[in-house]
Structure 1
Amino acid sequence: MSTLASRTVGESGPRVVFLHGLFGQGRNWHTIALRLAERGYRVTTVDLPNHGRSPWTETQDYGVMAEEVAELLAELGEPVTLVGHSMGGKAAMTLALRRPELLTALVVVDISPVSYPAERSGSDFDRFLTAMRAMDLAALTSRSDADKALSEAVPDPTVRGFLLQSLVRDREVGWRWRLNLDVLHAHLADLGRFPEPPEGAVFDKPVLWIAGAESGYVREDNRAAMTALFPRTRLVRVKGAGHWVHSEQPDTFLSALAQFLDDAATG
């Protein structure tokens, strides 16, 4: 039985499952999930290990993440369209190459099946994690204290607000992170890599690849790696969006996703 926390909206229709990125949680997809449910889809949002309400583990490994998500998908009892952003996109691609029978289609959001140089993929995230780990939670009297404590390391208020969604206050223990900061920091370099696919593995079902036009995570020289593993891929670049495409341009993102889902549902 899967240990991952999840939530499903919609009572019938084709199944869609969402995986969030680093520092995220399933609730990041809630608005899009509701809008898809209104269109007749049954949508499940998942908290990946060491995030949200899912259990903490001793590692953050794409193979392990893929196995845990595969357990959840098997319990749903029918193939799904799997949507993954960033870290969740790599986990989704890993699963698709290892357990293709669990999927009808795949959507990858602003990430490529490549290993990124540490200076490109990890420097900001390392700074964020260092600042979050250094925060004296016992000294916090309000969420605004936490916002101020992160302001130097995370100057963008939108990104800061996103990170602070995982800071919660319990009546018994006080402020705590829902993120396993120590494990995420220890495995940050691993998250920048893409695991070696099984020999000869190819996912030959429909794939939608959505990239932010202002993001550096999907480059022209990444196309060869993508199409070698996922030959039925269609790439959509969203203008005015960076790495967090679905939050920066939600209407455009939803339009592209819904069209893909409708096409997949009708064969």
Structure 2
Amino acid sequence: MLNTVTMGEDSTHPPILIAHGLFGSARNWGVIARRLSDQGRRVVTVDMRNHGDSPWEGNHSYPDLAEDLAQVIAAHGGQADVLGHSMGGKAAMALALTHPTLVRRLIVADIAPVAYGHTQKHLIDAMRAVDLSLIETRRDADLQLAGHVSDAGVRAFLLQSLDVKGRAWRLNLDALERFMPAILGWPDLVGSFDGPTLFLSGALSDYVKPDHRPAIKALFPKAQFAKIPGAGHWLHADRPREFEAAIVAFFGV
């Protein structure tokens, strides 16, 4: 079972389940989860497999990730409003397609059900290049990581998955590297999800393009589309209040 963090109580609505993206964790979503729970919803954030405090597994395909999320929903009442970002968005889509009765409403944040041509292997190489035996503080790790990753924001994001005291990454880098083609790809899933679905993108991001819409509509016929001005791929970090407002409006918090 995935490691989860639950905030708030709500006897009226199903919980909101939040699935993070590649190299992320439940803790990345703590502020948004808390603010949603303060408005009266129960919010469950997860560490996806091979991330955070969840088990390390040999497989990391989207059907695997969907089954993990299905188990979490089953343990929290049997239905949820599901929000997934990037890799978590693909896992959430796979969940909705394979277990449609478990999903009441779906928000897919800045990702489409298509294969992408880029890779994140360079970030795995950068994390592996850090000599953890020399780490006393997060700042020590940041100085080493800066030699491989110039963007301070990306470094800060990656370093949230570093256990400084244990001198270890809370990421199964071997499995994530091995399954990088599958993470960037999209499985051949049949059927469709007929529930309300929102594809929410950053206006400065190119992850969800107009030519992706036919593929999206084929799988999610009730899909709606919205963009958050001034936000890139990490739209929840770039414009958190606007992102939160979109969740509230669509999920009916």
Task: Classify the TM-score, shorter chain.
Answer: over 0.9
Deviations along 1:206-262, one digit per CA (max 9) or x if unpaired, are: 001110111111011111111110011111111111100001001111111100011
- Deviation per residue, 1:56-81 (Å, 9 max, x gap): 01121111111111111111123111
- The question of whether the paired residues in 1 share the 8 Å contact of 2:135 and 2:164 is answered with no
1:181 maps to which residue?
173
- Correspondence for 2:156: 161
- Per the alignment, in what secondary structure is the counterpart of residue 108 of structure 2? strand
TM-score after normalising by structure 2: 0.96
**Alignment pair present for 1:128 and 2:123:** yes
Structure 1 gaps of 5+ residues are none
SS at match of 2:90: helix
**CA-atom RMSD in angstroms:** 1.1
Deviations 1:108-154 (A, max 9, x none): 0000000112xxx31xx211110111221112232212101111321
Match of 2:46 in 1: 46
The answer to whether the 8 Å contact 1:133/1:182 transfers is no
Aligned length: 251
The answer for unaligned runs of 5 or more in structure 2 is none
Q: Distance in 2 between matches of 1:74 and 1:141?
A: 41
CA contact (8 A) 2:136 2:164 kept: no
Give the CA deviation at 1:203: 0.4
Report the TM-score when normalising by structure 1. Answer: 0.91
Specify the alignment match of 1:10 in structure 2.
8
Give the secondary structure class of the aligned counterpart of 2:167: strand
Aligned 1:4-83 pairs, distance under 5 A: 4-12=2-10, 13-14=12-13, 15-83=15-83
Q: Could you tell me which residue of structure 2 aligns to residue 112 of structure 1?
A: 112
Match of 1:214 in 2: 204
- Greater Cα shift, 15-24 or 144-153: 144-153
Asked if 1 retains the 8 angstrom alpha-carbon contact of 2:137 and 2:164, the reply is: no
> How far apart, in 2, do the equivalents of 1:216 and 1:104 lie?
28
